[in-house]
Structure 1
């Protein structure tokens, strides 16, 4: 029991602490997610050979090990396990482990791991403290990341539902091309998704994509503000040079990087 408790303490430190070692661990997890996303796109250009399926299974085992460590680090493992994003993560991992049976179906769900990490408060805090660019452009960076995740997920959905019977969708590049032209409502017409399911999928891409585009544009063009909770009223966003909170007038002490 003591050994199990000690392991949980170590794991929680790695997933939540602000020490250099814990930050490196979380950056390594983000790198692992980026690697898995890149593999999804690359594998769509390759035939389903034994080597490709072997890499899928090995990657799935690595991600499964990390998933088990994350659940073990939680003080409430069962509640953590049934959280929606963790369930989606588990489905994504199973799609890798069962690659020889599924032949790549549902593999696009692996990108949800990146979405989970990008919304992790601790990781955002890490990026904010380590990267001045991210600290200055946090909202725009997250909006761009969400749009990128949406593009990849929808391209994966288009690819998985169309590449076996649609000659216009042969790989992820074709699926991404269709997704972007639909999202921007360009609609060249050289690639279409037949049937009711295809039309509904196109509608989802256009509606959701326009919403994400607007959010990104809003984040890019609205006046730049910094996140700093007011000690008195809790207002989160202020002008970079604000001395007083505009909501309650409390004196602020917003840290800056100093003048060059």
Structure 2
């Protein structure tokens, strides 16, 4: 199991790719079921996903060289919350809200991006963009769920997840059409959090999109990972680099 989770063989990379695909499929399921009535089939899928996530967590704990430290990781507690929510769903929509935390596993687990050794591979060249988009997407998804769960029972303007998403995006972009507002001190503070953290993540995405292109290639001396595509020497320490070109 340690070789599959931490190794660099082709089999290990395929295994982690399938785990990442499972995470993405889980997120798609969460989004889809939040707009539909819950039935027996949904509960069965819930149970299957919960069992798979539980087995994954137990496997990672089994191979860990420091198990107590695992419980200091956000991804571990995200898994625990997701497992409880899938296997023992709460009444109403609250269970769906807790399952939103499963999306954070995409960012905090598996080292698929770091396993790509070719600096000209599309994933390596766009790794920062991918992570910035994922961070922003997860933030929007989580804040949408928080807005919905805290408002839909008392705020007639928030009737479903689509209304909550609309408000979150307008607050994040500081558009603020004013057709949906969050009343009270709690609502105002939530709006402030969305604007502050959302704008920060949005600016981070803009930064990685528009700054000069870099390639990922670790300097053997100082470890600097980002260099100009045509760099001959490391700009940090001057070490001679041997960055392969597209035809290598």
Taking structure 2 as the reference length, the TM-score comes to 0.89
* Alignment CA distance shift 1:76-1:143 (3 Å): same
Contact 1:140 1:216 in 2 (8 A): yes
Contact 2:34 2:96 in 1 (8 A): no
Q: Deviations over 1:107-157 (max 9, x none)?
A: 344444443433447222235659822211111121111111111111111
Counterpart residue number, 1:250: 239
Are 2:3 and 1:13 aligned?
Answer: yes
1:123 is aligned, of 112, 117, 126, to: 112
In structure 2, C-alpha distance between the alignment counterparts of 1:168 and 1:131, rounded to whole Å: 48
Contact 1:109 1:153 in 2 (8 A): no
In structure 2, C-alpha distance between the alignment counterparts of 1:111 and 1:124, rounded to whole Å: 23
Show the 5 A alignment for 1:223-238.
223-238=212-227
Counterpart residue number, 2:79: 89
Contact 1:118 1:124 in 2 (8 A): no
Root mean square deviation of aligned Cα? 2.3
- The runs of 5 or more residues in structure 1 that have no matched partner are 1-10
1:166 is aligned, of 142, 155, 160, to: 155
Contact 2:113 2:124 in 1 (8 A): no
2:180 is aligned, of 165, 175, 191, to: 191
- The runs of 5 or more residues in structure 2 that have no matched partner are none
SS at match of 2:94: coil
* Alignment CA distance shift 1:98-1:164 (3 Å): farther
Structure in which a larger fraction of residues adopt helix: 1
Counterpart residue number, 1:181: 170
1:44 is aligned, of 15, 31, 34, to: 34
The alignment covers a number of residue pairs equal to 248
Counterpart residue number, 2:59: 69
Choose between structure 1 and 2 for higher RCO, CA contacts under 8 A separated by at least 6 residues. Answer: 2
Contact 2:113 2:123 in 1 (8 A): no
In structure 2, C-alpha distance between the alignment counterparts of 1:107 and 1:126, rounded to whole Å: 32
Higher mean alpha-carbon deviation, 39-48 vs 112-121, is at: 112-121
How far the C-alpha of 1:93 sits from its partner, in A, is: 1.9
